Structure 1
């Protein structure tokens, strides 16, 4: 009975979010309230359980980075980067998009993808304002790049961190096995951009001439604050990269960085709090609770288990099934809770495979499916939700279906690219 309630609430919420008839934050919070009111989850499940509750690490990582971005915005550095990018691309919107996509992909490999889009989105809005073009295609393309580029390393995408903790795979393992397919995915994405966003690259030559005449150095408003921000950001990034050695979660690193930056910059709350996307944070909280209800009632576990049993014990079949099922379900449920639910199943399957390379192929299939599948829908990954929230606040909203139509194409192409990669590398070449 509880499983029926959890599934019913989630489906109803998903339909309402997709149709955009009701604000998504209202839908998520209402759905969360219903699963608690019907007794599917208790307050302990919601607020204290790592498996079924709100992922506070994600919430506070976002909060800390939003505060840092709010202080950083006062320096004028976003305007500097926007003008620099536009001038390097000679005012061509397509070249600007390619440049921003490549920057996003590279940054996402070394930072988590949410942090990357929080930093790159303000730059995108400014450069598009300078060129007088819609920022929507640029923001969507950057989300795709962040999810694909983040797949390259252990710290780039939250599902990778979960997989590493369950499988024992190291940072170097991810570099060796995931970077090649992430790189191929970015190359394919860049090649697809002119077709995906056809008609979005027309610009007034007069605006291009204006941009080329600008001096980006004049955009810097406060050099002292910029130096302080640079030092704090360097420390935060070092904390992100070394969090496994330091045993400090990225969320704690972000909060410490935010507090230190506010203290050193002597910023008042009114100067950085408007940058906090409260609606996005509340939406995440509600979504985590609804998905937690699916985990608590065993719905996600049964789906994953059924997929695992369908392999019949064949490693190649298991690898391909995990890849495609993960891509589909991660796009619908959100890739973080899906990966947490699927990891024990993959661990059980991999233990029964004698060839270590083929056993690890199951983990790489899960990582690729979860990371690339995050592009499938507007709520498939944390970065998607954050960028949609930023776009809404900048009066350039991205609709659920506008994102999903293009996301489905990118996901299909990149996952189909990953299938022969897995087959060739682990079942033909054997390494």
Structure 2
């Protein structure tokens, strides 16, 4: 009787769960809900409260839905990135780059290489947040148009983050949930990512040819553009600590078969035990909103999964000839969903159908590379646009699409071909 009563309650709550799910993902699409002061995280949190307060999802299932290793890995690398931000490393790297005697196209190439390499380890969002303000000052000082360089920063950070299972949140999720090999994924992703970066440089250089210089200001020495806010001083000791921990973890992920989340937490703990850098400064740079978003999406998606509707929908699509378990349909769906609701929610939705051995790398590459298509496709893009606005530089959707669309189509094609031949 109790089991029958529980099943009846589940059936009765299904329309409510579906309604909450639809509203949450509508919020993902729109960036909030009409007439309410809610961002994406707020919408997800509201959905979780609705599900738990009505007992549409029992409290014990709430805790089962949350994947702690993914959250631990994400948190640990936020701590490591905070260490390097407080040490001034990211700003110093761009500043040193700006001092090199390079032609504008070569400067663009060097920027793409540095941004991609750093994003592969320290997250694309953090790289853009820390590097964009300094990059603008470098461009002003050299009398260069910042637009192609800022868009190159966003594109390269997104592409570079696809190279590893720690480069962005969705790759961390896939690596932990599907237990992907760090070394095997790096080997598989290195070719499409490397070729994608070369193509990105070629596209931006070709579209900017002859229009590198600014004409509305005179060049200034780099020293005159530096401010404490935009150009933090390099703390060699704190930077060395952060880079040492990051290097040790990267080597451990490659060669040691211990849980990545636990190794990363150990590294974060070492950095937090500092005699000079207070923990509140590091924890103040943690993206708590992103962690709450992750937790909320785990819960909302789990609630929908419990209704059985996703399984039925996947079966119906398969019967009509569009089998989401197959690589090609999954690749297309990942690309489309990532641009509708953003890549993290898209990957969470598609995880249940990631049963093919190629599904993990496929989702990691397609969802990440899709982020370059539109400004709203990636938080990294939004960060760069906002940094530009603060310095009086307007980047609208046309400016971004002029570069983002060809870069996305080219890199997606490269990834698809690479995955096809890599099977």
Whether TM exceeds 0.5 here: the answer is yes
Task: Give, in whole Å, the separation in 2 of the partners of 1:286 and 1:199.
Answer: 48
State which drifts further: 394-403 or 54-63.
Answer: 394-403
Q: How many residues align?
A: 396
Instruction: Say if 2:164 and 2:182, in contact at 8 Å, map to a contact too.
Output: yes
Match of 1:148 among 159, 163, 168: 159
Counterpart contact for 1:335–1:374, Cα < 8 Å: yes
- Asked if residue 385 in structure 1 is aligned to residue 379 in structure 2, the reply is yes
The alignment status of 1:13 with 2:27, answered yes or no, reads yes
Partner of 2:4: none
Structure 1, residues 239-259: CA drift from partner, whole Å, max 9, x if none?
244247252434x55554444
Question: Matches of residues 87-126 of structure 1 in structure 2 within 5 Å?
Answer: 87-88=99-100, 90=102, 92=104, 95-109=106-120, 111=121, 114=123, 116-119=124-127, 121-126=129-134
Who is 1:354 aligned against? none
Whether 2:79 is the aligned partner of 1:64: answer yes
Identify if the C-alpha distance between structure 1 residues 389 and 371 changes in structure 2 by more than 3 Å, giving closer, same or farther: closer
Whether the 8 Å contact between 1:9 and 1:34 is mirrored in structure 2 is no
Two-structure CA RMSD over aligned residues (Å): 4.7
Q: Is the 8 A contact 1:68 1:258 kept in 2?
A: no
Would you say the 8 A contact 2:119–2:161 is kept in 1?
yes
> Which string of whole-angstrom CA distances, capped at 9 and with x for unpartnered residues, describes residues 37-63 of structure 1?
454444444445236x99523652354
Paired residues for 1:120-199 under 5 Å: 121-132=129-140, 138=149, 140-157=151-168, 159=170, 170-194=181-205
Q: What residue is the counterpart of 2:243 in the other structure?
A: 233
CA distance in 2, matches of 1:394, 1:278: 24
Match of 2:66 in 1: 50
Range that drifts further, 409-418 or 79-88: 409-418
How far residue 128 of structure 1 moved from its aligned partner, in angstroms, is: 0.8
Q: CA deviation at 1:129?
A: 2.5
Q: What's the CA shift for 1:17?
A: 0.9
Aligned equivalents of 1:182, 1:280: Cα separation in 2 = 25
Q: CA deviation at 1:98?
A: 3.5
Contact 1:304/1:342, CA 8 A, preserved across alignment: no
Q: TM-score, normalised by structure 2?
A: 0.71
State the match for 1:419 in structure 2. 416
Distance, in Å, in 2 between the alignment partners of 1:161 and 1:127 is 28
Deviations 1:73-125 (A, max 9, x none): 3xxx4443232111226484x6544322221222344x25x2x5424532331
| Alignment of 1:86 onto 2:86 | no
Q: TM-score, normalised by structure 1?
A: 0.70
Give the match for residue 370 of structure 2: 373
Residues 293-345 of structure 1, C-alpha deviations (whole Å, 9 max, x = no match) = 44444555555555555558899xx3322221222223434545654654553
Structure 2 unaligned residues grouped into runs of 5+ = 1-14
Following the alignment from structure 2 to structure 1, what is the Cα–Cα distance between the partners of residues 161 and 301?
Answer: 23
Displacement after TM superposition at 1:164 (Å): 5.7
Give the CA deviation at 1:8.
2.5
Q: Give the unaligned 5+ runs of structure 1.
A: 351-359
The aligned residue for residue 275 of structure 1 is 285
* 2:328 counterpart of 1:320: yes
Aligned pair in 2 of structure 1 residues 279, 212: CA closer, same or farther (>3 Å)?
same
Check whether the contact 1:32–1:290 (CA below 8 A) recurs between aligned residues: yes
Moved more, 320-329 or 285-294: 285-294
Give the Å deviation of 1:183: 1.7
SS at match of 1:242: helix
Distance 1:211 1:298 in 2: 60
Q: Structure 1 270/180 Cα, relative in aligned 2: closer, same or farther at 3 Å?
A: closer
Tell me the secondary structure at the aligned position of residue 87 of structure 2. helix
Residue equivalent to 1:356: none
Per-residue Cα deviation, 1:224-245 (whole angstroms, up to 9, x for no partner): x512431343123322442472
Q: Which moved more, 1:388-397 or 1:263-272?
A: 388-397
Q: Residues 18-39 of structure 1: CA distance to partner in whole angstroms, max 9, x if unpaired?
A: 7997452444433443444454
